[in-house]
Structure 1
Amino acid sequence: MTKEEGGHNKLGRRIVETVVGNFIRFPSCFLTEFERQPNSPGIMAVDKEELVQRAKLAEQAERYDDMAAAMKSVTETGVELSNEERNLLSVAYKNVVGARRSSWRVISSIEQKTEGSERKQQMAREYREKVETELREICYEVLNLLDKFLIPKASNAESKVFYLKMKGDYYRYLAEVATGENRNMEDSQKAYQEAFEISKNKMAPTHPIRLGLALNFSVFYYEILNSPEKACQLAKQAFDEAIAELDTLNEDSYKDSTLIMQLLRDNLTLWTSDTQNDGEEATEGGDN
């Protein structure tokens, strides 16, 4: 099973990945007199703080749709997200879309294996299409937030790479369920490539976001473009460059970076192994 950042495999098993409605209003009893005034800057500040707290509670309760809705509202305030808020947004949507990706794979497998019963096959197809619709809506919601708020507001290379990688990921998820003329691979590749160029110039080879980008970009080459040689070359280069500078890793990012390096190595092992592994799915790498 190939490794990428976040999602589930064909059988619904959790895989590791490197890893946002209208503005939510709260009852006026929670606001001070100043904050109740129209156009008061206090309303946005209090609402944002409350929304972030609500997202954290939803994460602990594993209610990721609620978590995503809260972080979507935070994003729509138009203020650049902090690193913590950025990660909350990513984790929320990764879990929301991950559940649909897993369901789609399971149902697609059932649909392909259903023989001798036209009615059962039709039911499986209709259910798959329902899940596809949900998945597309989630992806377009995230892509809209990225293009409208997150990427334009990114004030440093780390944030820019993070959001461009995210953009590549969600276009990749759309490509996973699309067929024929509807399968657009260019948008995903363009976002990944732009992020890749920035990361090479502005970030250390051991940076977990740069490593996570290399991991998912290589999965894109392997699974979407069917280019195993390019996938292996990209993954190996990222791994080797990180190994060469391993002694420069700081304590804060050591765990994340070494985890993603392990995932890169796992993918390389899988992709270069015997044909008995053909058809296994690449795994994405951990949240960063």
Structure 2
Amino acid sequence: MRYSLRQLQVFLETARQQNISRAAASLSMSQSAASSALKELESQFDIQLFDRIGKRLQLNELGRLMLPRAQALLEQALALEADLDRHAESGPLKVGATLTIGNYLMVPLIARYMAHCASARINLEMANTAEIAEQVLNFDLDIGLIEGELQHPDLLITPWRDDELVLFCAPDHPLAAKGRLSDPDLTAVEWILREPGSGTRQVFERAMHGLLPHLNITLQLQHTETIKRAVASGLGIGCLSRIALIDAFHHRTLVPLDAPGRDFSRRLYFVQHRHKYLSAGIRRWIDICREP
């Protein structure tokens, strides 16, 4: 074999740090050793992986092409090492979830995952769909659970479960007694919605095709609970996942509305990097999420 795993480590860390000195420090190596490892990797194949801009090393086109494959190969090697050390189950799993999923679905999933292995650890990152996808692309997350649809050549988007959005308002809102809303109702009311980039907003805009330019969107908020409180205060009507509204509907602090002819159904998805090695922990997490 004309390259070593240590050389791949230096390549990946240099790409992350954009500086050989910082990469060496991160890997507990001397600068000369790290620099030699990188030079040997390039010279073995007569290639250049970085453009050198002063003291900064920036991945060139070939380096960007090699990065995900080197990352996947190194992760498989580390997983094998963990298996050989009999500690494969103890490594932390880095999971990303969009806000609705994180707030309303993640706790029971984490509990079931940890019940399978008492030593398991999960690091949970919550953000909107676009941000979770970006972190998966950068290998900052092992897997994401998202609400929105997206496409990227380096991402695998796999259906997980069905969901739907619901329009809702305060019990004393003028539309509460009406229940079924016409297009003129939808354009006359004030809206409180999730921010652009969220999966919820994506589905809302799809369902409201033809009316979007005429909607009066007065507030755009990132947090589901803030939207619910604003709507309960009578500031407008909202649109969120039914998952987030079950308790509020049960206690009548909020009431559902219907817009006949408009489709608010959607799916929730797993998002993974195409070149990410599927460890035993990731496979177990997916299996638990799919359990009834």
Larger Rg: 2
Q: Note whether the superposition's TM-score is higher than 0.5.
A: no
More strand by share: 2
TM-score range, shorter chain: under 0.3
More helix by share: 1
TM-score, structure 2 normalization: 0.23
TM-score, structure 1 normalization: 0.23
